[in-house]
Amino acid sequence: MDLFLQRVIDGISQGSVYALIALGLVIIYRGTGHLNFAQGEMALFSTYCVYQFGEWGVPVWIALVLGMGVGFVLGSITEVTLVRPISKKSPFAVFIVTLGLFRFLNWLDGAIWGNQQLPTTAVGSKQGRFPSLFPREPEDHFKILGATIRWERVGILALVLGISLLLYLLFNFTKFGLAMRAVASNAESAKLTGIRTHIVLMVSWGLAAAIGAIGGVVMGGLNGTVNLGLMFGIFIYGSAAATLGGFDSPVGAVVGGMIIGLVENLASGYIDWVGQELKLGVALLVIVGVLLVKPSGLFGTPKVERV
């Protein structure tokens, strides 16, 4: 029983990281109707920037805010210079462009910071670990029914729930949130009502990249390192979470992330042939299964088309 509870807690806390990436995907989809396949690499670039700020002596929380600013600028520039002009030619071309951006950003990270894990023991932070936003010393934990719960995991979960609440308020109780929904539904009609669609699109991409930066920093803190492959698997899990919860639902992104983390952790713990190596396959199966059974996701809004 203790082991089961421990795996449940670890799965939910891991799923909260997936939820951060899923939230970024949801924001872009709700604001623009597009899927950003470079979301993970945008987050990785911002995470490297946070690492660099830390090397320059900037405290971790201030470095995070600066990294979110970098992510916001990166996302905004991407929308203005790449997505906007190309989407006018072909919506499908946005898919190709974001895949190309994925490869470019990964190459750029390697060109600037190298291919090794950072920080190294010889070079980098004095602790030799990527900074964590929350306490992570061996004594920073408590127990419930025999399961060990680390304060770092509690802090991450609280952070995700706080961001989710803010996004819920943004989407449902602000004019900008309503404008995002209107633009995603029909950009031309939204423009006729006086909505500045170009601002909405730019801010949607910027906001998504800023939230992705939080996910990258959280993941770097959990691993203790940042490297070129840090966000690839996380993006797959985040995509599965957004698919399961519904691409137009922030609540669905969070719930989907928790479910993916829980299923992944339980499957790797109790099914021998899954193990640690095939956990990614669990996320892929979830994506395929949801698309076949309920394409709109658990909390998504089904699209009704007149024929």
What's the confidence (pLDDT) of residue 125? 43
Range with the poorest average pLDDT among 58-72, 147-161, 180-194? 180-194
pLDDT given for residue 103 in this prediction: 93
Tokens of 173: 């109780």
Asked whether residue 127 carries a pLDDT value surpassing 60, the answer given is no
If you average pLDDT over residues 282-298, what whole number do you get?
A: 81
Beta-bridge partners for 118 = 226
CB 194 within 8 A of CB 63: no
Contact 48, 230 (CB under 8 A): no
Determine the CATH number of domain 2-293: 1.10.3470
Task: Please report the pLDDT score of residue 139 as a whole number.
Answer: 79
SS3 213: helix
Q: Helix 250-270 crosses helix 151-173 at what angle (to 10 degrees)? A: 150
Per 3-state DSSP, the chain is made up of helix, strand and coil in percentages (nearest 5) of 70, 5, 25
Q: Quick one: pLDDT at residue 80? A: 93
Query: Is 89's pLDDT higher than 90?
Result: no
Domain ranges (residues) in the chain: 2-293
| pLDDT of res. 46 | 96
pLDDT at 294 exceeding the cut of 50 = yes
Residue 306 has pLDDT above 70, yes or no: no
Residue 186 has pLDDT above 80, yes or no: no
pTM of the model: 0.88
| Confidence label for 178 from pLDDT (cuts 50, 70 and 90) | confident
**pLDDT value, residue 144:** 78
47-59 average pLDDT score: 93
Q: Which amino acid, residue 149?
A: I
CA atoms within 13 A on the CB side of 78: 32
Check whether 128 has a pLDDT greater than 70.
Answer: no
Cα angle 142, 165, 98; round to 5 = 105
Average pLDDT over residues 38-48: 95
pLDDT band at 120 (very low <50, low <70, confident <90, very high): low
Q: At what angle do helices 232-245 and 39-55 cross, to 10 degrees?
A: 130
pLDDT, tens digit (0-9, with 9 covering 90-100), for 248-262: 888 889 999 999 888
Q: Is the pLDDT of residue 123 over 80?
A: no
